[in-house]
Amino acid sequence: MKNMIRTVTISLLIGCFSFVAHGEAKNEFPWLMTSYKHAHLTPEQRQIYLNAYFETMGFILYSYLPRKDSKAMKQLNAWIDCVMETRGSEKWSPDLGWIFGKNLDKSAAYIFYNEVSPLICEGYTEKAGTQVRTLKLYNYDDWGKWSVKDKAVYLSGYVDTVASFQMRLRDAGMKNDLRDLQIVIEATGIDGILSDVMNMKFERQYPLPWSISRGLGAARKRVLSE
């Protein structure tokens, strides 16, 4: 059973390139970066959000995929290679997913995960290596220089990406934390989560999502214990 669950989980992660959910994601989830909010970001903040999506997906892949499995590591490296080679492309935009009013209630990360990544990152697995790597686009010094708004934008990218993955687990009938995440967002908002994140001691040697995840965990523990 454990191996079967792991295999299904890997297929869902790999599925950022090919998976089609059975049933549309429910509209009531409180996405943080909808089309309206995204439209009011500066170009620099849009890049921060996009890079948060890139790094968070790298973190999810690193966390879920077994590092002793060479085939799994090819999936991780395919993602890293795709990001490093294409992250400057104008194709990394959620606008196509929002065109004609489609998915306007969904986040930019949801569009990246379900519609943009499958198009841009197709074919990278075949040439990917098997070494264990991490995707690091920002460091703690970058975080320290950002305004509170910039930090909130990055955090929104992290949370929206995690929610997109948890939603995929839900749609596949697998155990997920989507409901808990929704409760935390509705109870404390982005400002409350950011407060917990900023109280964390950042692990400077790792990409930002390593420490962001601990901050979100603290917010979750705080909210659910009240």
Average pLDDT per 10 consecutive residues for the chain, totaling 226 residues: 41 46 58 96 98 97 90 92 96 90 91 93 92 95 97 98 94 92 96 96 94 96 90
The pTM (predicted TM-score) of the whole model is 0.90
Residue type, 69: D
How many CA atoms does the CB half-sphere of 61 hold within 13 Å? 28
φ and ψ at residue 19, rounded to 5 degrees: -75, 140
pLDDT at 9: 45
* Confidence (pLDDT) at 107: 96
DSSP track, 40-108: TS-HHHHHHHHHHHHHHHHHHHHHHS-TT-HHHHHHHHHHHHHHHHHTT-TT--SHHHHGGGTTTTS-H
Residue 28's pLDDT is 80
Residue 122 and residue 14: Cα distance in Å, rounded? 11
The structural domains of the chain, with segments of one domain joined by +, span 2-224
